[in-house]
């Protein structure tokens, strides 16, 4: 309902602001304002220490309007994270069928990281998103909500991979692979958020190293 930006495109509009219609632009600005206000307040006073009233007030709308844009307080906290995950999912869908499933997943993460930052920055400053990410991993209610969304993403990934490989839906292997992959991503994400590592290169290396362990993890006899 919100944020649908696919319309008939007038060829090369002179003023770049005329594309989506005045009303649509206003809605988009309201939505962005709500996200920005929310994340700033969360960073300042914490998630539970911030009321929806305060968020709405900071974005100059009524509380009622807030709930027309977001289904709940959780929603706005996870809005940017949602963007990131959608972006990753699309990257997976675009991987060539020749790649093995694990390679496809791995390459998709890496390539989605190359391009996601500007998309984030168009809504909120990157540093604010990093603080939000930490908050998500330390606030019980947000951990739960985020895990639920992640589980849904896993379902979709499982389906995509099963289709790629031409497997019937009952085959458990795609699900297992996705679960293992997801476990790695959760773990590395935890480290990234908590250690506040700004060094993206180092983080990529670590993630890659972890992903390399997926194969060996299932070989019995770990004791070297």
Partner DNA sequence: GAGCGTAGTGTCAGTCGCTGACAAGTGACC
Partner DNA sequence: GGTCACTTGTCAGCGACTGACACTACGCTC
List the Cα angle 184/118/58 in 5-degree steps: 100
Q: What are all long-range contacts of 122-125, with beta carbons under 8 Å and residues at least 24 apart?
A: 123/32, 123/35, 123/36, 123/79, 123/80, 123/83, 124/35, 124/36, 124/39, 124/80
17 binds, among DNA, a copy of itself, none (CB under 5 to 8 A by kind): none
Q: What is d(CA 132, CA 144) in angstroms, rounded to the nearest whole number? A: 15
117 binds, among DNA, a copy of itself, none (CB under 5 to 8 A by kind): none
Q: Does an H or E element contain 81, and which?
A: helix 79-93
Residues 59-88 that bind DNA (CB under 7 A): 60-65, 67-69, 71-74
DSSP 17: G
Give me the 2-41 binding string for DNA, x by CB under 7 A, dash otherwise.
-------------------xxxx-xx--x-----------
**Is residue 78 within 8 Å of 136, Cβ to Cβ?**
yes
Residues 126-185 that bind a copy of itself (CB under 8 A): 140, 143-145, 147-148, 151, 154, 165-167, 171-180, 182-184
Q: Cβ neighbours of residue 133 under 8 Å, at least 6 residues apart?
A: 81, 189, 192, 193
73 binds, among a copy of itself, DNA, none (CB under 5 to 8 A by kind): DNA
Output the smallest distance, CB 210 to a copy of itself, in A: 5
Asked whether position 82 contacts a copy of itself by CB under 8 A, the answer is no
Asked whether position 34 contacts a copy of itself by CB under 8 A, the answer is no
Q: What is d(CA 173, CA 161) in angstroms, rounded to the nearest whole number? A: 10
Output the smallest distance, CB 156 to a copy of itself, in A: 14
Asked whether position 216 contacts a copy of itself by CB under 8 A, the answer is yes
Output the smallest distance, CB 202 to a copy of itself, in A: 15
**Chain positions contacting DNA, by CB under 7 A:** 21-24, 26-27, 30, 50-53, 60-65, 67-69, 71-74
């Amino acid at each position: 309902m919100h944020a649908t930006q696919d319309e008939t495109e007038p060829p090369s509009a002179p003023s770049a602001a005329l594309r989506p219609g005045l009303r649509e632009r206003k809605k988009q600005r309201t939505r962005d304002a709500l996200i920005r206000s929310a994340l700033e307040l969360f960073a300042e006073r914490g998630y539970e220490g911030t009321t929806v009233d305060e968020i709405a007030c900071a974005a100059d709308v009524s509380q009622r309007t807030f709930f027309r844009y977001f289904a709940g307080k959780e929603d706005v906290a996870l809005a940017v994270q949602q963007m990131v995950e959608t972006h990753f999912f699309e990257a997976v869908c675009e991987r060539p069928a020749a790649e093995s499933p694990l390679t496809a997943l791995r390459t998709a993460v890496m390539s989605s990281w190359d391009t996601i930052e500007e998309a984030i920055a168009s809504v909120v400053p990157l540093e604010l998103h990093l603080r939000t990410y930490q908050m998500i991993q330390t606030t019980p209610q947000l951990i739960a909500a985020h895990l639920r969304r992640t589980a849904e993403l896993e379902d979709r990934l499982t389906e995509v991979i099963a289709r790629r490989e031409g497997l019937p839906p009952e085959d458990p292997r795609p699900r297992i692979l996705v679960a293992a992959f997801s476990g790695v991503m959760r773990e590395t994400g935890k480290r990234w958020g908590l250690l506040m590592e700004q060094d993206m290169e180092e983080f990529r290396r670590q993630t890659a190293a972890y992903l390399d362990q997926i194969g060996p993890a299932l070989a019995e006899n770990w004791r070297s």
